[in-house]
Structure 1
Amino acid sequence: MSEKENDKEEKKPIIIKDATDLQRLRLEKLMKNPEKPVLIPERRKEKTLPPPPDFVRNVMGSSAGAGSGEFHVYRHLRRKEYARQKCIQEKSEQEKLDEEYQRKLEENKRKAEEKTAKKRAKRLKKKQKAKIKAKIPKTNTTETKTSQSESESDDDDAEHSESTAEKDEVQS
């Protein structure tokens, strides 16, 4: 009896309330038999008008050949010309949008590289400071102060000897 009850529970109709339920149902159907090949449809091709001819022949004005039979020829040629002009305008607009998109991509890429370079420099600077701190041993603060004062006095002596040497050169 328990098997029959399980079958009844499984056979209950599934109510699809939104797109998630539909997707879940499709995935469950696919997973029942994973070895079965799945058909993936190709993308639809965009519908476009055939490209209009570059050269327009038999061009006439609205008043030229104004006979009753010629009006339909004029109207047909006018439609072809408008289609050609529309196609040219759409093409130029698309090229303009593509160019703007590429420029924007390059701009974003450049900004990202600048930001990365700035952060890299900051990291390297921090790393250098850490190396310098690691090199200086932290024994006693009094010892470091005395060593600093000694090095400053050595620097003063070196500067004094350099300045006297320069004075001697200038005098001779």
Structure 2
Amino acid sequence: MDGKEKDEKNVVVAKTPAELQKMRLDKLMKNPSKEVFIPESSQERKPRDPLEFIRNVWGSSAGAGSGDFHVYRGVRRREYARQKYVDEKFERDNADAEYQKKLEKNQTEAEIRTAKKRAKRLKKKQKQKGKKPKKEQEEKEESDEESEDEETEESREQDCDKGHNSNQNGDMGHNSNQNGDMGYNSEENCDTEVKSEKSENHNDNKRKGYRSNKQHALVDEKQFQISANTNGS
């Protein structure tokens, strides 16, 4: 019965890699609880340790034949391979250790840089937060000053209006007094103008007299020189 059932099943052949992958995935999903076998990564083959004592080999004698030489040659080859493996492993371990140190160093430097940048960002944010209320206070103070100026202007306008209304009743008498004041002011202006003209004329006369006196003195000196020359001759 089992053989007949197997024969009855259709055999599916994957024609493309995608179909093959689909078949494998379907097979895995039929039983999800089953553990999947994942092969381990390929590791390098470690050579066996050297033998402490090699039997059935002639010692250092002249009777050693070619068979003994082949045994020696195999032992030598294995020893060279072991030494090469040890040297490569040592170099690889040192390279891995240096790489890990470099990674740790880069990580610490990156953390230090990020910490510095974070501190700068926080400091900048704090400065910006400190500046905002100052600006708001300045704006409030400016608005308060503007409101005070407006209030003072309004109060002045009201006082002026009150004074104008109170003075309207005595406009006639005030106008007559103003006319008298205008006449008095005009008389004062005339007196000051007359005084300034007199002082200017006086100064001009002084200058003219000084010039005439200087000219007379020059004429007298010339006449004296002429008379002296005539007497000497």
What TM bracket, shorter-length normalisation? Answer: 0.5 to 0.7
Going from structure 1 to structure 2, the CA distance change for 1:44 and 1:17 (only over 3 Å counts) comes to closer
Separation in 2 of the partners of 1:22 and 1:122? Answer: 57
Match of 1:125 in 2: 123
Which of residues 52, 69, 72 is equivalent to 2:70? 72
Distance 1:15 1:132, change over 3 A: farther
Unaligned stretches of 5+ in structure 2? 1-11, 55-59, 143-233
Q: Is the Cα contact below 8 Å between 1:52 and 1:80 reproduced in 2? A: no
TM-fit CA distance, 1:121: 1.5
Match of 1:26 in 2: 24
Q: Cα RMSD (Å) of the superposition?
A: 3.6
Aligned counterparts of 1:127 and 1:117: Cα–Cα separation in 2: 15
Which position in structure 2 is the counterpart of 1:102? Answer: 100
| Residues 137-163 of structure 1 deviation map (CA, whole Å, 9 limit, x = unaligned) | 51445947xxxxxxxxxxxxxxxxxxx
Counterpart in the other structure of 1:39: 36
Q: Counterpart in 2 of 1:49?
A: 46
Identity of aligned residues (%): 45
Aligned length: 125
Q: CA separation of 1:65/1:85 partners in 2, compared to 1, >3 Å: closer, same or farther?
A: farther
Question: Which protein has the larger Cα radius of gyration, Structure 1 or Structure 2?
Answer: 2
Q: Distance in 1 between matches of 2:36 and 2:137?
A: 74
What do the CA deviations read for 1:12-69 (whole angstroms, capped 9, x no partner)? Answer: 9764345xx54444334433554x424333415524123424x8768xxxxx656435
Q: Is the 8 A contact 1:52 1:87 kept in 2?
A: no
How much does 1:79 deviate?
A: 1.6
SS in 1 for 2:136: coil
Compared CA separation, residues 112 and 82, structure 1 to 2 (3 A): same
Question: What code does the residue aligned with 1:89 have?
Answer: D
Q: CA deviation at 1:115?
A: 2.8
Whole-angstrom distance in 1 between the partners of 2:119 and 2:86: 49
The aligned counterpart of 2:113 is 115
1:13–1:68: structure 2 CA closer, same or farther, 3 Å change rule? closer
Distance in 1 between residues matched to 2:125 and 2:23, nearest whole Å: 54
Alpha-carbon distance in 2 for matches of 1:25, 1:136: 72
Please report how far the alpha carbon of residue 109 of structure 1 lies from its aligned counterpart in structure 2 after TM superposition.
Answer: 0.8
More helix per residue? 2
When the two structures are superposed, what TM-score results if normalisation uses the length of structure 2? 0.41
State the AA in 2 paired with 1:88.
Answer: V
Greater relative contact order (Cα 8 A, min sep 6): structure 1 or 2? 1
| Alpha-carbon spacing, 1:141–1:102, altered in 2? closer, same or farther (3 Å) | same
**Aligned partners of 2:140, 2:20: CA distance in 1, in Å?**
76
Structure 1 gaps of 5+ residues are 1-11, 59-63, 145-172
